[in-house]
């Protein structure tokens, strides 16, 4: 069967205006999964950014965030690998369940909010993009990002809370995108996380990629652990299961590893300690922004719900510190930029901040293992 994605001769197939309706998603889903995205007409990122900015012209401009140079005296002849981690906020949850009491519903309109999300991605140009709470994969992110040169994988939650919301767009889940020009996919695993031998509602994607420039293999993983207080031991069990899977995939850390995710866990939780102390020799990249290199940022999410204000550090980019260097990391938004009504807002599309890091390979990874 031939899948029509709209008239590809029109400007960006009227990219932003004519995304598939939710009714069309199930109809086109199998087709989209099998579709050779390389056959679709490529889009110039500048054109897409310009179209996004036209849609957003009545909103305030994007916040300015700067990269912090973290390079030590380690020269690399190769371009760094830019990795972006972001819980983008499922549309169904933002409008129907999360109850952001200080955020006007107008700010959550999908036709504009998707442009804010795309604008953030286009601004930082990641080589690898790890997303959580994606409930518009097939009608927005896959068709657009594939035409920007990305190859994507989506793994929905088995019982997504989005399905409880009227007029939802299907289940939310994790999505992983990488630039086809920079990497070759060696293998891919969709992991349904277990806790105490029971299958859970949380998932992960782990892919082994080959860097075309260096010939080096590495594994990239994305996950979203169970939310809410009272579930700390459950998250710990999910983290243990994920680490066991990753040990197998990386052959016990022979293959360098980057793990992105919304862990729904502060650094004080057991699951954080499990990742810190794992035999995979992982470090959290955003600790390197602190003066001593030992402290996580003060927040990665900041919102106001009926129960009160929530400011937490829940999002992380873990990496094999023996095999990879963090060249730079994107600074977080300041409290002043976020503003008194917190997130999401007319300025920013999610209640979580995006994290972005540039990585390079160590020249002699085995020496430090």
Q: What is the mean pLDDT of residues 106-135?
A: 97
User: Rounded to the nearest 5 degrees, what angle is found at the Cα of 86, between the Cα atoms of 222 and 121?
Assistant: 115
Q: Is the peptide bond before 282 cis (omega within 30 degrees of 0)?
A: no
* Mean predicted confidence (pLDDT) in 234-243: 98
DSSP state at residue 352: B
Q: Which pLDDT score is estimated for 4? A: 32
Residue 341's pLDDT is what? Answer: 94
Please write the tens of the pLDDT for every residue from 266-294: 999 999 999 999 999 999 999 999 999 99
CB-based contact 202:265 (threshold 8 Å): no
Q: Residue 9 class from Cβ within 10 Å (0-12 exposed, 13-18 middle, 19+ buried)?
A: exposed
**Dist CA 169 CA 24 (whole Å):** 10
Give phi and psi for 279, each to the nearest 5.
-65, -10
User: pLDDT tens digit string along 314-333?
Assistant: 999 999 999 999 999 999 99
Query: For residue 309, which of 337, 353, 264, 351 has the smallest C-alpha distance?
Result: 351
Structural domain boundaries in the chain: 80-362
Q: Is the pLDDT of residue 355 over 90?
A: yes
CATH number of 80-362: 3.60.10.10, 3.40.190.10, 3.40.50.300, 3.40.50.720?
3.60.10.10
On average, the pLDDT of the chain sits at 89
Structure tokens at 122: 């286009």
81: which strand partners?
359
Taking a C-beta distance cutoff of 8 angstroms, is the pair 133, 92 a contact? no
Is 16 a residue whose pLDDT tops 70?
Answer: no
Phi-psi region of 40 (alpha: psi -120 to 50; beta: other; left: phi over 0): beta
Mean pLDDT over residues 88-111, rounded?
92
Helical (H) or strand (E) element with 257: strand 257-262
Residues 172 and 178: their CA atoms lie apart, in Å, by 20
**Contacts of residue 174, Cβ cutoff 8 Å, sequence gap at least 6:** 130, 131, 132, 134, 154, 155, 203, 204, 205, 222, 223, 224
pLDDT at 17: 59
pLDDT at residue number 230: 96
With a cut of 60, say whether residue 129 has pLDDT above it: yes
Q: Is the model's pLDDT at 23 over the cut of 60?
A: no
Between β-strands 67-69 and 324-330, what pairing exists: parallel, antiparallel or unpaired?
A: antiparallel
Residue with tokens 């983290």: 239
């Amino acid at each position: 069967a031939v899948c029509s994605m709209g008239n590809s001769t029109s400007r960006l197939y009227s990219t932003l205006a004519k995304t598939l309706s939710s009714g069309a998603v199930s109809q086109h889903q199998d087709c989209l999964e099998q579709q050779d995205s390389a056959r679709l007409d490529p889009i110039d990122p500048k054109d897409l950014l310009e179209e996004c900015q036209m849609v957003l012209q009545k909103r305030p401009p994007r916040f300015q965030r700067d990269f912090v140079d973290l390079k030590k005296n380690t020269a690399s002849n190769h371009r760094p690998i830019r990795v972006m981690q972001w819980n983008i906020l499922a549309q169904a949850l933002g409008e129907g369940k999360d109850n952001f009491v200080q955020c006007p519903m107008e700010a959550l309109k999908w036709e504009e909010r998707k442009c804010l999300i795309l604008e953030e991605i286009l601004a930082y140009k990641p080589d690898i993009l790890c997303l959580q709470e994606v409930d518009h994969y097939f009608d927005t992110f896959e068709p657009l990002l594939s035409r920007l040169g990305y190859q994507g994988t989506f793994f929905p939650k088995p019982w997504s809370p989005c399905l409880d919301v009227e007029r939802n767009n299907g289940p939310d889940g994790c999505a992983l995108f990488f630039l086809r020009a920079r990497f070759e996919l060696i293998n891919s695993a969709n992991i349904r996380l277990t806790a105490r031998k029971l299958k859970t509602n949380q998932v992960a994607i782990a892919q082994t990629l080959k860097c075309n420039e260096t010939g080096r293999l590495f594994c990239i993983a994305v996950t979203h652990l169970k939310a809410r207080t009272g579930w700390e031991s459950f998250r710990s069990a999910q983290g243990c299961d994920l680490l066991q899977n990753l040990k197998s995939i990386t052959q016990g850390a022979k293959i360098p590893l980057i793990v992105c995710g919304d862990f729904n866990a502060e650094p004080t939780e057991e699951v954080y300690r499990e990742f810190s102390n794992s035999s995979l020799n992982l470090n959290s990249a955003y600790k390197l922004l602190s003066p001593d290199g030992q402290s996580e940022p003060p927040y990665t999410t900041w919102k106001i719900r009926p129960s009160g204000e929530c400011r937490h550090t829940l999002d992380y980019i873990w990496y094999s510190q023996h095999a990879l260097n963090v060249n730079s990391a994107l600074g977080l938004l300041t409290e002043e930029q976020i503003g008194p009504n917190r997130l999401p807002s007319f300025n920013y599309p999610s209640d979580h901040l995006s994290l972005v890091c540039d990585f390079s390979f160590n020249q002699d990874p085995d020496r430090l293992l």
